[in-house]
Structure 1
């Protein structure tokens, strides 16, 4: 049973994407996000989501989905078009590491 639990845990860890975003670089890029999502990652407008403390992998996925068109939002589309994968990972690291 112990081996089964370890095998399942190892599979979950290996299946999860690992991001090595640089939170300091993400902070530099976050000024464009602050207008809607707040300087501290907490939006003042209820329709805009809070980013502070969100999981890094979740944030990267959402940014990539906006850029690819998988998620359609007329406000987010132009915001993400100039972002590289590294920019997305850095922004995600910045917001994920906010306490």
Structure 2
């Protein structure tokens, strides 16, 4: 398992491109168009739409560009970002990064199972631990395109894990999404449900 993760991580070109620096003040104005789905403060009220508050600017910018370039398929978002420049997308991401994430709550009945998958993976089926990329507290790695996941809606996380398990990526050359395809391919339905719930309540998880 450790060797598998090392091979995956080694395949990723960290900081392979110059990262844009967003202007949060400009982003606040442009974020008005995002508010109907993600909330003006980045705390989406709809569980299938992700919370953006506190998300790393570099990650959110990159994902928005992938959607604009139709490498990541999000039909409901594409028309909104289609005509935005890289800088405008970085500005919006910078604004949302500065917002405070409102924590979620995990289902207590799923905490033990979710905690096991998140912290240890599943050796028997070849599922690596989520902590390798997202950290024990779910904060990700800023500057390396590994997102913060703590507090994210369980429904959204489960949807993304199911997509990855089905082989959905952001292009065959995109190492980051292909890591998640490899990680998720052996997850069971029960593991996806449990780890997604655990992630939503990660702020109050037991250590």
TM-score interval, smaller chain: 0.7 to 0.9
Matched-pair contact (CA < 8 Å) for 1:23–1:90: yes
CA RMSD after TM alignment: 1.8
Give TM-score scaled by structure 1 length: 0.81
Matched-pair contact (CA < 8 Å) for 1:23–1:93: yes
Partner residue of 2:98?
97
Compute the displacement of 1:80 (Å): 0.6
Q: Which runs of 4+ in 1 moved over 6 A?
A: none
Which whole-Å CA distance do the structure 1 matches of 2:80 and 2:15 have between them? 31
| Count of residue correspondences | 88
Structure with a larger share of its residues in helix: 1
Compute the displacement of 1:74 (Å): 1.2
* Secondary structure of 1:45 counterpart: coil
Compute the displacement of 1:14 (Å): 6.2
Matched-pair contact (CA < 8 Å) for 1:21–1:90: yes
Which whole-Å CA distance do the structure 2 matches of 1:63 and 1:14 have between them? 17
How does 1:73-92 map onto structure 2 within 5 Å?
73-92=74-93
Give TM-score scaled by structure 2 length: 0.40
Which whole-Å CA distance do the structure 2 matches of 1:62 and 1:33 have between them? 14
Partner residue of 2:51?
50
Answer yes or no: is 1:30 the counterpart of 2:31: yes
Which whole-Å CA distance do the structure 2 matches of 1:14 and 1:39 have between them? 29
Question: Which has the higher Rg, Structure 1 or Structure 2?
Answer: 2
Q: Gapped runs of 5+ residues in structure 1?
A: 1-12
Which whole-Å CA distance do the structure 1 matches of 2:15 and 2:69 have between them? 25
